[in-house]
Homo-oligomer: A and B are copies of this chain.
Amino acid sequence: MKRVYNFSPGPAAIAQEVIQQAADEMTNWRGCGLSVMEMSHRGREFTEILATAKNDLRELMAIPDNYKILFMQGGAIAENAIIPLNLIGKKSQPATIDFVNTGHWSVKSIEEAHKYAKVNIAASSEDSGFNHVPARDTWMLTPDAAYVHICTNETIGGVEFDFTPDVGNVPLVADMSSNILSREIDVSKYAVIYAGAQKNIGPAGLTIVIVRDDMLGHALPICPSAFDWKMVDEHDSMFNTPPTYPIYIAGLTFQWMKRHGGVAAMEKNNIAKAKLIYDYLNSTDFYINKVPAANRSRMNVPFFLKDESLNGKFIAEAEQNDLVQLKGHSSAGGMRASIYNAMPIEGVQALVAFMKDFEKKYA
């Protein structure tokens, strides 16, 4: 079976064991005579699949009991509206939301929040081309903000938080779409963690929301019921029909992670993978990455050929070597290697070997 190394930023590589298990179980899930896609979400089989996925995620991230796990739809982009719709109701209107702006995904969150609240940009790295995370002591927070919003990994800039900020009693909300489950974090430092599943978890169409219980029950009257976290929680993520097949694949991924040492082992592997490629980037000026060491993303490694006229050749020859989806985001140009949990170290080794060969050939 031909398989390629897939450096797509998302939807992204899924562990081969998971894909194989999904293929094996597709026509007849554990002898029940049905595909998971065909199961009633309220039947005993799917109820078990959902409960297991939730318990496994709780175990993997050590999510405290006072946090709810919600399986939702619409991705992080929809959640950018759903979060203010759920959280600003605690404050007198118009409420203020503090944002730390570290790149493309932060900007998306900020734009959407303007629909519902006053926005304060507490810190931003825009002036330096979004190439770092502003140090915590430079943030100008609003004392009575509804919440502080951060994006812990920016996939386009390749910039990742290397710290969990202390924001006092104001709820901390984090878009972790692109680095959830890739490193150990202390969930209790956050009020809300949200993530589209299509990077480290599974197929597109599933959004994970981890929310502290005191954040529930404050939705604005204009919040669609299907996106009111309290309603979703009260119905155990079945207020509307959940995206059952994506939840199943997410569950298989959680089990794959548990078999392979959990988040700690993933993090160790991610550090090794990132070191391989960044060490090489440090050693050459044929390729360029301008992010300071502390904020270099372990998940998304953007790099630029010094001679950009070689870009087309790089992509074409990489594909000939079964290394696909390396083209950078249209807004950034250059290249980007997304190396989420499911990318094996062999894939990164193959990429670095190719990059070295390419350098030798064209330098």
Contacts and interface: CB of A to CB of B under 8 A. Distances in A.
Given A19-B26, A39-B11, A205 B33 contact: no
A214 interface: no
A127 interface: no
Nearest to A23: B26
Interface in A11-30: 11-14, 19-20, 22-23, 26-28
Given A27-B20, A77-B225, A81-B224, A243 B205 contact: yes
A35 B12 CA distance: 10
Contact of A39 (B8, B81, B111, B242): B8
Interface residues of A, number: 69
Interface string A198-231: 1000111110000000000000011011110000
Q: Describe A's contact surface by its main secondary structure.
A: loop
14 contacts: A3-B27, A8-B40, A14-B35, A14-B37, A19-B26, A19-B27, A37-B202, A37-B249, A77-B240, A77-B241, A78-B227, A81-B226, A204-B245, A205-B244
Interface of A: 1-4, 6, 8-14, 19-20, 22-23, 26-28, 31-35, 37-41, 43, 73-78, 80-82, 85, 111-112, 115-116, 196, 198, 202-206, 221-222, 224-227, 239-246, 249, 322, 324-325
